[in-house]
Structure 1
Amino acid sequence: MPTLTRFAPARRLLAVATLLLLAVPMTAPGQIINPDGSMPSLAPLVEQVSPAVVNISTSGTVEAQSNPLLNDPFFRRFFDVPEQPRQRQVQSLGSGVVVDADAGYILTNHHVIANADQIQITFNDGRELEAETVGSDPETDIAVLQVNADALAALPMADSDELRVGDYAMAIGNPFGLEHTVTTGVVSGLERTLPGNGGARLQSFIQTDASINPGNSGGALINLRGELVGINTAILSRSGGNIGIGFAVPVNMARQVMEQIIEYGEVQRGVLGVRVQDLTPEMAEAFDIERPNGALVAQVTPNSPAAEAGLEAGDVIVEVNGTPVSDANAMANAIGLLRIGDEVNLAYVRDGERRTTTAIVADPATRQVSADSMHPGLAGATFSEVDERSPLFGEVRGVLVAEVAPGSPAAEYLRPGDVITSVNRQDVRSLAEFRDRVEGADQLLLNVRRGSGAFFIVIR
């Protein structure tokens, strides 16, 4: 009985499909033709969009990694080890999409052009041109290039928010160096996240089964109108080849990043000052929320825009600028794409009551303090509160090392991203406490948290 129930719908679909086939003219068994005698094909669409998809090849240099012992002159002399090269040459292949024919702007992935000293663009008509990097954003894995050329073709951008699972999709790129390869499939998922995707923190990928392979990165994912819906970025694979699970950055996200890069040369990402986490069904019940949708505020940075807007730990943010927030990742994406100075309207639930508030996205630079006047041993370092820019946000209390000038006294001890948790064996929980502990001290004993480790340093 279960077998009949499972296959009965399939029989009805087969009968409908048979009737449709009988209604279409056929010249041979199994061959479907259009009323004008032509064969159905995506070739006209491919011919239309292919001139806007380009091949990208890069060359550059990176710091060579070696065993620390090989950097010791005594060790090299004792074992007669030759001098090791400090840098090595790297090359990469990828794809890109022309999105502005007049200005010559090309969208691609950050990881395609990272460490590139020279970028060469090859067009579908055989032209080869040098490109310049306008800017790049590792957090979304998007980069913008520019070429100086006439008669370019560009792809129009669709509204990727309108995509639905099941929509047809076509991927165009240069997998394994094979120029202008076309694959088709459907959108098989939306709002996907990929832990460890090259450091990208803002993720809301389109998942597709249109075949994507190495070299497709930066290429176009288009709809059947010939509009750009995504930038092909990554695959999920155990072997390195395609298994039908590919991912693309939605074009709406790429567009927002591109606009900031073109205007400022970078993404001027502001801070709100909250750490959020997913709302589980158990937590939703505990916080008197009907459905487990939203981002639970776990921590609010003192004196931050979130604190000034009245947010508190335990609040559940359910909307950002009128758009529902499903989880912590959606919240991070919504805030991470806003510009410094943008006003953000937040709807949240507290004690079972829905409330609203407004915050202004802050510039991290305005919340930083130079240590030059605090202590000579810290000269060259800039400190700030631990905010969402740090992966340790919400895990440790202290002050964040925001910047360190190369060659400065502070560069001997500190790196950007370090968190100082205590000074002279006294805990530090804010910039004000840090200043009080440091100013006037002859010697500093700092407890520094770096990544997953911690250590003490003495500064005189």
Structure 2
Amino acid sequence: MNTGNVRNIVTIVIVAILSSVITLFGYNTVTKNNSKGILNSSGSVRQSEYADSFDQDKNVRLANLTTQQGYPDFTEAAAKSVNGVVHVKVKSVSQQQYMNPFDFFFGFGERNTQPREQIGFGSGVIISKDGYIITNNHVVEGATEVTVSLNDNREMTAKVIGADPQTDIALIKIEGDDFPYLTFGNSDALEVGEWVLAVGNPFNLTSTVTAGIVSAKNRGNIVGGNLNIQSFIQVDAAVNRGNSGGALVNTRGELVGINTAIFSQSGDFNGLAFAVPISIAGKVAADLKQFGTVQRAVLGIQVPNIEMVRRQDPDKASELSRIVGVLVEDFGDRSAAKAAGLEKGDIIKAINNVQIRNFAGLQDQLSRYRPGDKVKVTVDRNGKEHSYTVELKNDAGNTEIQRSSDSMSLLGATFSDIPNSRKQQLGINSGVEVSSVDNSGLFRKEGINKGFIIMRVNNTPVNSGDEIAKIVSSVSRSSQDKVILIAGFYPNGRTQYIAIDLSQGLK
């Protein structure tokens, strides 16, 4: 081989090496810039803040892998996820009513109640090394005992830290300090068509992984009851009974949602499943851990009810439905938006530079903030853009952080069970006697004293102090009116109905 040929070969090799180095450098630079861009987005910054509440390791990530044929490879994401998802077993007690024929003949004529133990199952996601677990409120609601089974078959008793019926998210905890867990991903960055995995325990089949794609985002009005979340992630991964509270993860093994509901006429999977985005679930979990209750921030605006308008003026309803943004129709009492300078007729176009297309999008953005947080609100006013800094408030019209208290301590009372023989003498089928009353409690304030017999709380028969505590705890966690209605009497007295506002003591 002559010298010229050797020189040409060396030159080609050097060029190839330099090209490879430049390509790798460029790839790393782009990757870092993209990562930085995502981390600097408003939603991701807040999700990182909520992850900090549970001391999540920011370096625990998987590569987005593909097979040699170019197909998605879910094996590593699945292997990581199943270890962080648990099986949740719940015991609860329901009151089964039956008619005692002797009661009927002797003139009582009421239905008796008999406690009946029920067993329920669901899923949960470990989100911290020390055993905090996100699940659904409907999985643990009314639980007398919660047991968690890990993927390595360890079984542990869990404590319910708090629950939020409005988002159907609950936080429970097991004792330990070295559990596998899933780190929060960026649910805002999910795109329609992106692959995701649903991990849970359908039909008690533990450690089950199914795959699908994101079918839609910000899906609302798909679940009834008290849920007010309007921004579900819709997926077509198979989700069935028992998947509730399980993980929705991306192909990097990051937690992007909590599987919550399916749309089905049979009760089984029908191609439509819905998950609460981690941008919401993570914030709720962080609030429950830190404050014991969810901190909700509001703008204090009223928006048109398009369905109501449609019945009265279809043309106007059609016009309203074409608006990209949220029309401010009026303001609530002590409105944060009004105080900041917004006016009736403004169309809210963005919150902290995140575009708002509809009311569901507005709720989604506000659900990430707490009272006292300041946000930039961009509005369209008669074709001109204006921006205002709004200090968000809570439902009470102030910026105070609400903290849950021991709900029963607010009542300031102790209770004793009533033997069946005495119930028969009193002519009742259910009842609990007030055995003592604290001078500073809500019972004393409302005139309930020692010796009062409580038959029902919120129209639910009660036979123990524990049953009263469960009802009071459930009401105190609700964002609706925190009021309990007590039906009871003093012996030889008439039946009284007494309303007690728990919010007087919940601060």
Greater shift in the superposed pair: 303-312 or 248-257: 303-312
Q: Tell me how far 1:40 sits from its aligned partner.
A: 9.0
Tell me, in whole angstroms, the C-alpha distance in 1 between the residues paired with 2:203 and 2:318.
50
Distance 1:150 1:243, change over 3 A: same
* Alpha-carbon distance between aligned partners in 2 of 1:114 and 1:401, rounded to the nearest angstrom: 17
1:266 Cα shift? Answer: 1.3
Which of 140, 151, 163 is the matching residue for 2:178? 151
Are the equivalent residues in 2 in contact too, given 1:278–1:296 (CA < 8 A)?
no
Residue 57 (1) aligns with residue 89 (2): yes
1:425 corresponding residue in structure 2: none
Which of structure 1's runs of 4+ aligned residues deviate more than 6 A? 33-36, 278-282, 284-287
**Matches of 1:312 and 1:286, distance apart in 2:** 20
The residue number in structure 2 matching 1:98 is 126
Offset of residue 302 of structure 1? 3.4
Measure how far apart 1:147 and its partner are. Answer: 0.8
Deviation at 1:236, TM superposition (A): 0.6
- Whether 2:270 is the aligned partner of 1:249: answer no
How far apart in 2 are the matches of 1:283 and 1:186?
Answer: 37
Deviates more, 1:127-136 or 1:198-207: 198-207
Unpaired stretches in structure 1, ≥5 consecutive residues = 1-32, 369-378, 382-399, 418-460
Per the TM alignment, residue 197 of structure 1 is displaced from its structure 2 partner at its CA by 3.8
**Alignment partner of 1:341 is 2:381:** no
Give the alignment of 1:252-291 within 5 angstroms: 252-277=279-304
Q: Percent identity?
A: 35
**Match in the other structure for 2:353:** 322
2:207 — aligned with what? 180
> Where does the alignment leave 5 or more consecutive residues of structure 2 unmatched?
1-65, 401-444, 448-478, 489-495, 503-507
TM-score normalised according to structure 2 size: 0.61
Cα distance in 2 for partners of 1:320, 1:76 equals 63
Residue 112 of structure 2 corresponds to 84
State the alpha-carbon separation in 2 of the partners of residues 329 and 416 from structure 1.
31
Aligned amino acid, residue 89 of structure 2: S
Which residue is 1:45 aligned to?
A: 77
TM-score (norm 1): 0.66
| 1:48 Cα deviation from its structure 2 partner | 2.5
Q: Which deviations, in whole Å up to 9, do the C-alpha atoms of 1:227-285 show, x marking residues without a partner?
A: 11111111011111111111111112111111111110110223332122478996699
For residues 197 and 407 of structure 1, the distance between their equivalents in structure 2, rounded to whole angstroms, comes to: 27
- Residue correspondence of structure 1 range 7-46 to structure 2 within 5 A: 42-46=74-78
Shift of 1:204: 0.9
Compute the displacement of 1:150 (Å).
Answer: 4.0
Taking the aligned partners of 2:291 and 2:212, their CA distance within structure 1 comes to 37
Q: CA RMSD in A?
A: 3.7
CA distance in 1, matches of 2:361, 2:67: 44
Give me the whole-angstrom Cα distance separating, in 2, the residues matched to 1:224 and 1:328: 30
Q: Is the alpha carbon distance of 1:199 and 1:402 closer, same or farther for their aligned partners in structure 2, counting shifts above 3 Å?
A: closer
Q: Taking structure 1 as reference, are residues 340 and 181 closer, same or farther at Cα in structure 2, changes over 3 Å only?
A: same
> Secondary structure of the equivalent of 2:193?
coil
Cα distance change, pair 191–366 in 1 and its aligned pair in 2 (3 A): closer
Q: Which moved more, 1:162-171 or 1:189-198?
A: 189-198
From the superposition, tell whether residues 228 and 264 of structure 1 become closer, same or farther in structure 2 (CA, over 3 Å).
same
Q: 1:365 to 1:380 in 2, by over 3 A?
A: farther
Q: Structure 2: how far apart are the matches of 1:341 and 1:140? A: 21
CA distance in structure 2 between the partners assigned to 1:350 and 1:233 by the alignment: 39
Q: Which amino acid aligns with 1:58?
A: V
- CA pair 414-276 structure 1, distance change in 2 beyond 3 A: farther
Alignment of 1:225 onto 2:310: no
Residue 283 of structure 2: SS of its match in structure 1?
helix
C-alpha deviation, 1:56, in angstroms: 0.3
CA distance in 1, matches of 2:319, 2:383: 10
CA–CA separation in structure 1 for the residues paired with 2:95 and 2:344: 43
Higher relative contact order (CA 8 A, sep 6+): 2
User: Which has more helix, going by share of residues?
Assistant: 2
Q: Which amino acid aligns with 1:96?
A: G
Deviation of the 1:88 alpha carbon: 4.2
Q: Aligned to 2:364, what secondary structure does the other structure show? A: helix
Q: Deviation digits for residues 5-45 of structure 1, max 9, x if unmatched?
A: xxxxxxxxxxxxxxxxxxxxxxxxxxxx9779xx9964443
The SS at the match of 1:363 is coil
Aligned length: 347
Matches within 5 A, 1:374-393: none
SS class of match (2:328)? strand
One-letter amino acid of the counterpart of residue 92, structure 1: G
Deviation at 1:159, TM superposition (A): 0.6
Change (3 A) 1:320 1:174: same
